[in-house]
Amino acid sequence: MHCLFFLLPAVALCAGSNEKQASALIEQGIAQFDKGEYDKAIADFTEALRLDPKRADGFAWRARSWGRKDEFDKAIAECDEALRLDQKNSLAFSVRGFSRSRKGNYDKAIEDLTESLRLDPQNAISFSDRGEAWYMKCNYDKAVEDFTESLRLDPKDFAKHNNRGSARLALHEIEPALNDFNEAIRIAPKDARLYCNRAQCWIKKREYAKVIDDCSEAIRLDPKLADAYTNRAVASIGKGEYDKAIDDCNESIRLDAKLATAYANRGCAYLYKLDFEKTMQDCNRALQLDRGIAVAYCCRGLVWNQQREFDKAINDLTEALRLEPTASAFLHRGIAWREKGKFDKAIADFDEAQRLDPNDVDVYFYRAALLSFLGEYDKAIDDCSRALQLNPRRFDLYQCRGQAWYAKREYDKAIADHNEAIRLAPENGGPYALRSLAWAAKGEHDKATADMETAKRLSQRQRQDGPLLPERCRATDITEFHFGISGQLVFAPALRSGIIRAWHTPWTTSEGC
């Protein structure tokens, strides 16, 4: 009895000592974690758990440390153990949700993060992490909602401003996105990724000089940021400087040989240079690396159109539209349908392209040409007139409208339009040939003969010089495509999306788990 009397207090004393030591080690581990000493933090949490294996917080914190080391399976296992011990551990749900998101299991991640927020509604990090999961599921509205709530709780986190900007950009809310990127840059002016992301707003606004300025600043801050070269290439394509675009894509590929968008953008530049073989090589490589690059399908579809492989063009352009509906893809699929004689489908695609981009002159041109062919002359004239309000220097629009006037036997109006087409493009034989028909219809045969001779002479020269192709027939408008998937959700180095992934630490905005 006496022995037992002395043993019981000793056991109790030992247990109490272990608990205190474990608590001290957990506090020490958190301090190491905050300093970025993750191996030391793991060692402290491991020793704490040896002393007190029922500490759910020890498992949760060790999970965070594994997450910082990109050991997401270990992090998830640690969180499972923490939740076995304590089903109301908000941190464990938060870390497991984030880790599942990093492994691509976004639905489960959202479930965990939602439960974390039920237990701790003021957790800005869980709102942010859930916003990232919604973003990766392409549910940008919900992503914006979560990033906004996270910013309400923590308004000084540059990553959250950036991430909401990326989600807004994906929703084509350009000005709100620009405001978010501006605020992120104000808070963290030395983060190169922020300039790279803001450049995507300028791309959408087609302000190419600003794209180049932001990308160049990003490169100055981080010369190894491959996405900055890729985005700058888009601006060069927009300015018609295709060789500069190719040079930037080459540098991007040198820095990151698996960056699919760099190949896609280079392929687009080659397409504008009418180098179809290199276009196909780059688009194929881009799609080998990432089947979700819409612009690669679109550029490849345009090559198939040029090569009169219309079924292949339709397949590629349909996939581009599934990934990202753009006016360019609808326009060129409409051209393919037209060439296959599927005129109703062609008109439907042209209509959708016009809905998406009511200022796209080429859409009006191709629809007008087909409407005129189908005998819908008044509609064709209306399309040409609307397009000429947008760009009065397009000779082919005057030529197309002139043909419609000719078909309506409005010969003077036809001649007036062909006169303007000739003034704008005096070396193109088409308007002379068409004006010749109008002169002949009016009985002015000498003028008709002179125009036809000029048309023959110019047509011979055009055959020697190469084809004269309409602007958009040569290539797609690369600026239409969303580049959030190619840039940064300021995220983890291994993932490319457009958002910046904040770490699971409320006191820092450095990258992490």
DSSP 239-276: TT-HHHHHHHHHHHHHH-TT-HHHHHHHHHHHHHTT-H
Does the reported pTM lie above 0.85? no
277 belongs to a structural domain: no
348 belongs to a structural domain: no
247 belongs to a structural domain: no
pLDDT at 498: 52
The residue whose two tokens read 């240079």 is 273
395 belongs to a structural domain: yes
Q: Tell me the C-alpha distance between 24 and 45, whole Å.
A: 10
pLDDT digits (tens, 9 = 90+) for 398-427: 999 999 999 999 999 999 999 999 999 999
Q: How confident is the model at residue 487 (pLDDT cuts 50, 70, 90)?
A: very low
Q: Tell me the C-alpha distance between 402 and 397, whole Å.
A: 8
Number of domains in the chain: 1
- The CATH code of the domain that includes 444 is 1.25.40.10
From 63, 66, 57, select the one nearest 86 (Cα to Cα).
57
Q: Tell me the C-alpha distance between 180 and 163, whole Å.
A: 8
**Which tops the pLDDT comparison, 180 or 502?**
180
Q: Give the pair of three-digit tokens for residue 370.
A: 């087909």
Share of the chain above pLDDT 90, in %: 84
Q: How confident is the model at residue 477 (pLDDT cuts 50, 70, 90)?
A: low
Q: What is the mean pLDDT of residues 455-478?
A: 55
pLDDT higher than 50, residue 496: no
pLDDT digits (tens, 9 = 90+) for 114-149: 999 999 999 999 999 999 999 999 999 999 999 999
Q: What is the mean pLDDT of residues 95-119?
A: 96
Q: Give the pair of three-digit tokens for residue 437.
A: 């028909």
How many beta carbons lie within 10 A of that of residue 506, not counting itself?
Answer: 13
464 belongs to a structural domain: yes
**Which tops the pLDDT comparison, 221 or 476?**
221
pLDDT at 459: 80
What integer best gives the mean pLDDT of the chain?
A: 87
pLDDT at 464: 46
334 belongs to a structural domain: no
Range of the domain at 424: 389-474
446 belongs to a structural domain: yes
Q: Tell me the C-alpha distance between 317 and 267, whole Å.
A: 16
Angle separating helix axes 38-51 and 2-34, nearest 10 degrees: 160
pLDDT digits (tens, 9 = 90+) for 33-82: 999 999 999 999 999 999 999 999 999 999 999 999 999 999 999 999 99
DSSP structure class, residue 485: T
pLDDT at 509: 27
CA–CA distance from 462 to each of 430, 432, 455 (Å)? 11, 14, 10
Q: Tell me the C-alpha distance between 125 and 128, whole Å.
A: 5
Q: How confident is the model at residue 461 (pLDDT cuts 50, 70, 90)?
A: low
> CA torsion sign, 419 to 425 to 426 to 431?
negative
pLDDT at 16: 62
Q: Give the pair of three-digit tokens for residue 204.
A: 């959408």
505 belongs to a structural domain: no
